[in-house]
């Protein structure tokens, strides 16, 4: 109703007038109170009250209607058939209903003539065919609207999917998703919340100026949900409230503040006792949730779920990529990352290279399972508040001390001696060779420090071996 003229409908009325040889033709739609002309040929468009013209009866009966002379019909003698200015002075009328596939009559395709005229079956067949063309135009409009909505949804999903490439945290990802949705629909308060049976937390939120004015109240009523309301949210994945004042858990204060619509959509359940949801609030001027908005929000919530889930998986994979699977220590890549960060900080630091001596003997005498256990036991003892430990591969480890170079070497030596003593006390015939270097005291950069520490480790290994050989000769 009340949309601008469109060439497709205008061509149909012009064709109807030409084929049926009448001066006037129209495509009319009818709602609860009025008849409105979408397209007219030979007369101006406009509205008329229901009952003014025969089209109302065509829609009500759902059947074609022919009136050869409206001056003889009491319903229209004083309206359509009346001479100006009381009426347009028309006599003949023929109209067919515009029906949907479900049989609903939306309006009519109709023709008028100033002359008294009979319309036969041939004319009605022509009008019925043209009425189908009108419905095809409406179907095309509906399809175009649906395609536009689908395109917008696809655009939203694409924008949300691209967030996965930005390396954001789940909370940051959710906030960017909210900003994308902000361009697609109106809201006054939009929040990502974490809900549990005992409490709720707002992780991210966006507000309009009106929402900002009531932010404390929104937090108090929507974030700090009462137990029954929280249980309802936890057990209902999607909910759109068109009339907040009628909602069973509505807050009197929020109703008085002007809240009229609310919604929540689950993103995912981290567990049966925890849920992450998008919550929205709109004030009175926004109107009810439209089907398009619901579809968009549901699609967007699904996409945000995928973003958050994939972000979590990516973080898990990244942690795995930086972790040695056998010992749980950082791997060589993790060490490189840590050294880059240490270099960028500009602060002095100390590195150590460790080689676990006796590993081959353990494998040969006790088996490889015992060898793996030795690697894990030794790695476990390298944990220290001031030290980061890494397994570089095989029986080689590295340590990094960032809290000043003065105590770095002493701290790292103490950690290695403690780990060596532990594995020996556990019955493993093993010890550790150690090389330490600091930046910038022993080397100008990380690469040079690792090379220096590696050289000192091999020097320590040679010295240990030489001492063992001397002891063997003496005894």
Give the max Cα distance, the chain. Answer: 138
Distance CA 276, CA 270 (A): 8
pLDDT(386) > 60:
yes
Name the DSSP class of 405: S
- Core vs surface per residue 110-133: b (16+ CB within 10 A) or e: bbbbeeebebeeebbebbeebbeb
Strand partners, 275: 195, 269
Residue with the larger pLDDT of the pair 17 and 274: 17
Express each pLDDT in 184-243 by its tens digit.
788 899 888 877 777 778 888 889 888 899 988 888 877 776 677 667 776 767 889 999
CA distances from residue 178 to 76, 182, 215 in whole angstroms, order as listed? 57, 6, 17
B/e letters for 189-200, b = 16+ CB within 10 Å, e = fewer, are bbbbbbbeeeeb
pLDDT at 251: 85
Split at pLDDT 50, 70, 90, the class of 60 is very high
Residues of the chain with pLDDT > 70: what percent? 88
Backbone phi, then psi, for 6, in 5-degree steps?
Answer: -135, 140
| pLDDT bucket at 319, cuts 50 / 70 / 90 | confident
Average pLDDT, the chain: 86
pLDDT of residue 152: 75
Phi/psi of residue 117, nearest 5 degrees: -155, 140
Q: Is residue 404 very low, low, confident or very high in pLDDT (cuts 50, 70, 90)?
A: low
- pLDDT for position 405: 57
Write the pLDDT tens digit of every residue in 277-297: 888 899 976 678 888 788 778
pLDDT at residue 242, as a whole number: 92
| pLDDT one-digit tens code per residue, 325-368 | 899 899 999 999 999 999 998 889 999 999 999 888 888 888 98
Contacts of 345 (CB under 8 A, 6+ apart): 402
Distances (CA, A) of 85 to 33, 67, 78, 82, 91: 23, 22, 11, 8, 15
CA–CA separation, 436 and 441 (whole Å): 11
Q: How far is residue 254's CA from residue 74's CA, in Å, rounded to a whole number?
A: 55
- 160 or 35: which leads in pLDDT: 35
**pTM assigned to the model:** 0.46
Comparing 25-39, 102-116, 383-397, 456-470, the range with the smallest average pLDDT is: 456-470
The 3-state DSSP class for residue 387 equals strand
* Owner of token pair 């409105």: 36
308 pLDDT tier (thresholds 50, 70, 90): low
pLDDT digits (tens, 9 = 90+) for 408-420: 888 999 999 999 9
Task: State the average pLDDT over residues 435-463.
Answer: 93
**Could you give the percent of the chain with pLDDT greater than 90?**
43
What is the structure's pLDDT at 375? Answer: 93
Q: Are 95 and 80 in contact (CB under 8 A)?
A: no
What is the mean pLDDT of the segment spanning 69-80? Answer: 90
E strands present in 344-449? 349-357, 387-393, 396-401, 431-439
20-42 mean pLDDT: 94
**Contact (CB, 8 A) for 142 and 128:** no
pLDDT at 175: 80
pLDDT tier at 467, thresholds 50, 70, 90: confident
Task: List the beta bridge partners of residue 189.
Answer: 207, 281
- At residue 69's C-alpha, the angle toward residues 68 and 70, to 5°, is 120
Confidence of residue 58 (pLDDT cuts 50, 70, 90): very high
Q: Are 427 and 371 in contact (CB under 8 A)?
A: no
49: which residues sit within 8 A by CB, 6+ positions away?
Answer: 33, 34, 35
Question: What is the average pLDDT across 232-261?
Answer: 85
pLDDT band at 464 (very low <50, low <70, confident <90, very high): confident
Enumerate domains of the chain plus CATH numbers: 7-143 (3.30.450.40), 170-319 (3.30.450.40), 332-474 (3.30.70.270)
- Residue 167 pLDDT > 70: no
Q: Is 175 helix (H, G, I), strand (E, B) or coil?
A: helix
| Nearest by Cα to 10 from 99, 143, 113, 137 | 137
pLDDT of residue 108: 96
Question: What pLDDT does residue 389 have?
Answer: 94
The 24-30 sheet, strands edge to edge:
47-49, 34-41, 24-30, 105-113, 92-99, 65-67
Q: Could you tell me how many helices (H) and strands (E) the chain has, helices first?
A: 14, 15
Rounded Cα distance, 440 and 345, in Å: 13
pLDDT average, residue stretch 3-21: 93
Q: Tell me the Cα Rg of the chain.
A: 40
Which of 24 and 233 is assigned the larger pLDDT? 24
State the pLDDT confidence band at 435, using cuts at 50, 70 and 90.
very high
Using the 8-state DSSP alphabet, how is residue 83 labeled? P
Q: How wide is the angle at C-alpha 218 spanned by C-alphas 216 and 219, nearest 5°?
A: 65
């Amino acid at each position: 109703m009340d949309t601008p003229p469109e060439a497709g409908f205008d061509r149909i009325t012009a064709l109807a007038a030409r084929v049926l040889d009448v001066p006037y033709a129209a495509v009319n739609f009818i709602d609860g109170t009025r008849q409105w002309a979408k397209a007219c040929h030979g007369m101006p468009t406009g509205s008329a009250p229901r009952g003014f013209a025969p089209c109302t009866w065509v829609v009500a009966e759902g059947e074609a209607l022919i009136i050869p002379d409206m001056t003889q019909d009491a319903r229209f003698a004083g309206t359509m058939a009346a001479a100006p200015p009381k009426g347009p002075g028309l006599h003949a009328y023929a109209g067919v209903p515009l029906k949907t596939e479900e049989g609903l009559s939306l309006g009519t395709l109709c023709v008028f003539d100033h002359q008294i005229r009979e319309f036969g079956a041939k004319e009605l067949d022509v009008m019925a065919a043209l009425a189908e063309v009108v419905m095809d135009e409406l179907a095309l409009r509906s399809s175009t609207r649906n395609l536009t909505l689908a395109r917008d949804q696809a655009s939203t999903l694409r924008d949300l999917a691209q967030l996965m490439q930005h390396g954001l945290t789940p909370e940051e990802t959710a906030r960017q998703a909210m900003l994308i949705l902000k361009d697609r629909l109106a809201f006054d308060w939009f929040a990502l919340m974490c809900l549990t049976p005992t409490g709720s937390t707002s992780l991210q939120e966006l507000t309009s100026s009106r929402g900002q004015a009531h932010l404390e109240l929104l937090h108090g009523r929507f974030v700090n949900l009462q137990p029954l309301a929280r249980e309802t949210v936890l057990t209902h994945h999607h909910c759109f409230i068109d009339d907040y004042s009628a909602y069973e858990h509505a807050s009197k204060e929020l109703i008085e503040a002007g809240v009229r619509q609310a919604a929540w959509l689950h993103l995912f359940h981290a567990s049966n006792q925890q849920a992450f949801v998008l919550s929205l609030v709109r004030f009175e001027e926004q109107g009810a949730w439209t089907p398009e908005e619901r579809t968009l929000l549901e699609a967007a919530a699904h996409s945000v779920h995928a973003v958050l889930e994939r972000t979590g998986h990516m973080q898990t994979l990244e942690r795995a990529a930086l972790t040695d699977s056998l010992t749980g220590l950082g791997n060589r890549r993790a060490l490189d990352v840590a050294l880059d960060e240490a270099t960028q900080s500009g602060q002095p630091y100390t590195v150590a290279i460790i080689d676990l001596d006796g590993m081959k003997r353990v494998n040969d005498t006790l088996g490889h399972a015992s060898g793996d256990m030795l690697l894990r036991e030794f790695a476990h003892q390298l944990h220290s508040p001031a030290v980061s430990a890494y397994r570089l591969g095989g029986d080689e480890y590295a340590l990094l001390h960032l809290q000043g170079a003065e105590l770095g070497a002493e701290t790292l030596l103490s950690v290695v001696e403690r780990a060596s003593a532990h594995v020996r006390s556990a019955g493993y015939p093993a010890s550790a060779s150690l090389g330490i270097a600091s930046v910038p005291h022993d080397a100008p950069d990380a690469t040079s420090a690792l090379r220096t520490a590696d050289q000192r480790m091999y020097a320590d290994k040679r010295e240990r071996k030489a001492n063992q050989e001397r002891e063997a000769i003496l005894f």
